[in-house]
Amino acid sequence: MDMGLQGRWALVCAASKGLGRGCAEALAAEGVNVVITARGDEALQATAAAIRAAYPGVEVRTVAGDITTAEGRAAALAACPQVDILVNNAGGPPPGDFRQWGRDEWIAALDANMLTPIELIKATVDGMTARGFGRIVNITSGAVKAPIDVLGLSNGARSGLTGFVAGIARQSAIAGRNVTINNLLPGAFDTERLQKTMAAGAAKTGASADEMAAKRRTGIPAQRFGTAAEFGAICAMLCSAQAGYLTGQNILLDGGAYPGTF
């Protein structure tokens, strides 16, 4: 199916690795020019080179910087001629006990996983509505739907974003102008972050990282972790011309791990 995205521009945040990279690659495969960001330039350049080699017809621009800062966001926005598609993403907050978190930890989590996406939506949504096309996808977490106790910073900050998005996505000045805003909720995806989480869990329990991973996999009905490529494919689908009637939704990608009917 032609997704009708040829020649569009996407800003994909935090995209040198993992889920962000999966989204950038899937969009590039649809002929979308991409601006990708990450903090470290080396991995970012390697990813850009791989996307250019795989999809020579698209333009790939890179912006090295911290997307959770005003400067990082300004640089990312300046690099994108027009943001038709915005994929909001940043690193997730660390696990821990809420008794140990003070204001600084909370502000960092809110900056990364709530306020940065809101700032980027604010900076881009009016241009989208003026042009009559826009797709915003926020990478959040399955923890928004089924909270994970040690990830309280993530549960809290991402739920704040989710509530905000639920309100603005339904504004007729936005939805009525062919601009959609949806959240993609990853369950367990085989990325560097997941591997680090496994290694940390293994260090605590004395089990090996492989044993931890095997145990986690068996708890997922699909019996495996998701891949960044399949995450990216769903992101591209949400961004397609055909998906204009799909807005304000929270889409869980978890291989069936969430046990509820809805």
- The three-state (H, E, C) secondary structure of 83-97, written as one string: CCEEEECCCCCCCCC
Closest distance to ligand NAD from the beta carbon of 51 (Å) = 13
* Closest CB 40 distance from ligand NAD, rounded Å: 6
Give whichever of 55 and 189 is closer to ligand NAD, judged by the CB atom: 189
Cα 156 to Cα 105, 150, 182, 185: the distances in Å are 12, 11, 18, 14
- Measured on CA atoms in the order 224, 94, 238, 37, is the torsion positive or negative? negative
Site for ligand NAD in 50-109 (CB under 6 A): 66-68, 89-92
Q: Which is nearer to ligand NAD, 90 or 175 (CB)?
A: 90
Provide the minimum distance between the beta carbon of 203 and ligand NAD in the complex, in angstroms, as a whole number: 18
Q: CA 103 to CA 40: how far, in whole Å?
A: 27
Spatial strand order in the sheet of 179-186: 60-64, 33-38, 9-12, 85-88, 134-139, 179-186, 250-253
145 contributes a contact to ligand NAD by CB under 6 A: no
**Nearest one of 27, 24, 73, 76 to 46, comparing CA atoms:** 24
Nearer to ligand NAD, 30 or 254 (CB): 254
Question: From CA 110, how far away is CA 105, in angstroms rounded?
Answer: 9
Distance CA 135, CA 188 (A): 24
- The residue count for binding ligand NAD (CB under 6 A) is 28
Q: How far is the CB of 19 from ligand NAD (least distance, A)?
A: 4
In Å, what is the CA distance from 79 to each residue of 47, 63, 113, 145?
17, 7, 22, 34
Where does this chain touch ligand NAD (CB under 6 A) — which range of 8-16, 101-109, 124-132, 214-222? 8-16
Identify the residue among 5, 8, 12, 18 touching ligand NAD (CB under 6 A).
18
C-beta atoms surrounding 189 within 10 Å? 20
Residue type, 229: A
The binding track of 175-194 with respect to ligand NAD, each residue x by CB under 6 A or -, is -----------x-xx-xxxx
Q: Interacting stretch for ligand NAD, rule CB under 6 A, among 35-43, 120-128, 172-180, 209-217?
A: 35-43
> According to the binding rule CB under 6 A, does residue 23 interact with ligand NAD?
no
Q: Among the candidate windows 10-18, 50-58, 119-127, 201-209, which touches ligand NAD by CB under 6 A? A: 10-18
Q: Give the interface with ligand NAD as residue ranges (CB under 6 A).
A: 14-20, 37-40, 66-68, 89-92, 139, 141-142, 186, 188-189, 191-194
